[in-house]
Amino acid sequence: MDKVQGRALLVTGGGRGIGAATARLAARQGWAVAVNYTANSLAADEVVRTIRAEGGTAMSVQADVAQEDQVMAMFARIDAKLGRVQGLVNNAGVVDVTARVDEMSVARWRRMFDINVIGSMLCAREAVRRMSTRHGGEGGSIVNVSSAASRLGSAGQYVDYAAAKGAIDAFTIGLAREVASEGIRVNAVRPGLIETGIHASGGLPDRVRDLSHQVPMGRGGQADEVAQAIVWLLSNAASYTTMSLMDISGGR
């Protein structure tokens, strides 16, 4: 894979799981990485320490991606320290406890869409303002982290999460077409059952193990396996790839 020397990359939700794996791998490929976090500064700082120990460049940056003022301040800090972003991984996201739709509250739905959808759109907007040749930029790549839930629906568990990720799929397609002539590629990955802490946050710490029998490959995936696809999509090796929705789900 081509080395990308010194180009700035923002990974939202970069302190754990897929985000952390992506930040570490991208740094090994030469990206200068901004590791975003909302509250867990210790986890983000540990990712930064790991990257620096391997000779890479990284910074941690706090922001709740659902808050416009915080997103704009985050990009300004990255501008000042690393330069204009040329890569964005929209990874920050949440689930909630399992429930049927007729048991869900509006407050839950607003949180789900504010973070998973509006947060990704806010970060993409600020990235486009820096990457687009229309705005004096040099181009770049955006990778949205969707989910296999967007096509499976997650009935009886996370229909609202699945709907939010369906919105991310549509956003990926539309934005990719909108900025393709401005030097920006926009793609999404749709992970399936991946061993990360997000399942525990939704009250199902054993979800991957319990559902692995549904996966044709017979196992859950690892965060590093998703990171490999994300970093490829960011790289020059994927120079003719845009508007793709890449399933990383073991065949599920």
pLDDT of residue 196: 76
100's tokens? 């049927």
Domain boundaries, the chain: 8-248
pLDDT of residue 1: 47
Instruction: Count the neighbouring beta carbons within 10 Å of the beta carbon of residue 202.
Output: 18
> Could you list the pLDDT tens digit for every one of the 252 residues in the chain?
455 557 999 999 999 999 999 999 999 999 999 999 999 999 999 999 999 999 999 999 999 999 999 999 999 999 999 999 999 999 999 999 999 999 999 999 999 999 999 999 999 999 999 999 999 999 999 999 999 999 999 999 999 999 999 999 999 999 999 999 999 999 999 999 998 766 555 556 676 667 777 889 989 999 999 999 999 999 999 999 999 999 999 998
> What is the distance between the alpha carbons of residues 229 and 144, in angstroms, rounded to a whole number?
12
Provide the CATH number for the domain formed by 8-248 in this structure: 3.40.50.720
pLDDT of residue 118: 98
Point out the catalytic residue in the list 37, 158, 161, 240: 161
Cα 200 from chain centroid (whole Å): 19
Residue carrying the six token digits 């549904």: 214
Cα 113 from chain centroid (whole Å): 15
158 is an active site residue? no
pTM given for the model: 0.94
Q: What is the 3-state secondary structure (H, E, C) of the chain?
A: CCCCCCCEEEECCCCCHHHHHHHHHHHHCCCEEEEEECCCHHHHHHHHHHHHHCCCEEEEEECCCCCHHHHHHHHHHHHHHCCCEEEEEECCCCCCCCCCHHHCCHHHHHHHHHHHHHHHHHHHHHHHHHHCHHHCCCCEEEEEECCCHHHHCCCCCCHHHHHHHHHHHHHHHHHHHHHHHHCEEEEEEEECCECCCHHHHCCCCCHHHHHHHHCCCCCCECHHHHHHHHHHHHCHHHCCCCCCEEEECCCC
